[in-house]
């Protein structure tokens, strides 16, 4: 007799083979912390860079101040004796150390203590050097008998009178203003001793339309 209706012994189900459990992931922070963890490093690097730039900027400013204070001096021009190169109330920088390394040359625009009142400073152009003979004939300047070109003196500023001849003493300089008809210069107070000269005009910074180097005007006369 077919014993199909007989209960079959229950077959023990074998456990399914499952993949081994993955190793637990230890999270040290919230999700995406691995991305966010780079931000502090970036901020730190940015702060370091800002500190470096700030330090370099302060050093540059300090050096600039040292250069201005010890090498250059800002001065204000009063009067029109150096027009048209310099105008009344114009601000310029003078180099106070240049003549420790270079000789004073004809055409230089120099600043010096006024020989008749050493509490005042004048600014003029060097015309005659030590040992030279300076003479003015109808407004034209002659040095050692030779005419000196003066493109910096406009015709309307010329003084057509005569002067000299005079010999410039050793270690002294004959100076004149470019605005000859309104300049108190060596024609009045005589040559200027070299130890009175303490700087050369190098740069104009105010007003802005005069902003620029004054050296070109000097070089064109040499």
Q: How far apart are CA 1 and CA 18, in angstroms?
A: 42
Angle (nearest 5°) at CA 136 between 191 and 98 = 40
- pLDDT(24) > 90: no
pTM for the model stands at 0.70
120 is catalytic: no
Q: What is the extent of the structural domain holding 121?
A: 74-219
pLDDT at 72: 87
The verdict on residue 192 lying in a domain is yes
124 is catalytic: yes
**Residue with structure tokens 């003196």?**
153
- pLDDT for 113-158, tens place per residue? 999 999 999 999 999 999 999 999 999 999 999 999 999 999 999 9
Q: Residue 131 is part of a domain; what is its CATH number? A: 2.10.109.10
The verdict on residue 36 lying in a domain is no
pLDDT at 44: 79
- pLDDT for 207-216, tens place per residue? 988 889 987 5
- pLDDT(56) > 80: yes
Q: Which of 7, 81, 121, 182 is catalytic?
A: 81
Q: Tokens standing for 149?
A: 């070109």
Q: Which of 23, 28, 37, 124 is catalytic?
A: 124
The verdict on residue 32 lying in a domain is no
How many domains does one find in the chain?
1
């Amino acid at each position: 007799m077919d014993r199909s209706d007989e209960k079959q012994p229950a077959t023990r189900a074998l456990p399914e083979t499952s993949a081994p459990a993955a190793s637990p992931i230890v999270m040290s922070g919230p999700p995406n912390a691995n991305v966010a963890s780079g931000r502090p490093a970036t901020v730190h690097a940015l702060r370091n860079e800002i500190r470096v730039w700030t330090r370099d900027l302060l050093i540059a400013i300090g050096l600039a101040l040292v250069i201005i204070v010890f090498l250059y001096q800002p001065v204000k021009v009063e009067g029109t004796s150096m027009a048209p190169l310099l105008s009344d109330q114009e601000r310029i920088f003078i180099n106070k150390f240049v003549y420790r390394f270079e000789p004073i040359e004809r055409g230089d625009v120099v600043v010096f203590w006024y020989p008749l009142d050493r509490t005042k400073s004048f600014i003029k152009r060097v015309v005659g050097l030590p040992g030279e003979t300076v003479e003015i004939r109808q407004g034209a300047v002659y040095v050692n008998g030779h005419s000196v070109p003066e493109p910096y003196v406009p015709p309307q500023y010329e003084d057509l009178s005569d002067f000299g001849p005079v010999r410039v003493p050793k270690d002294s300089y004959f100076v004149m203003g470019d605005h000859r008809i309104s300049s108190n210069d060596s024609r009045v107070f005589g040559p200027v001793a070299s130890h009175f000269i303490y700087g050369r005009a190098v740069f104009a910074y105010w007003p802005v339309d005069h902003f620029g180097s004054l050296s070109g005007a000097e070089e064109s006369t040499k």
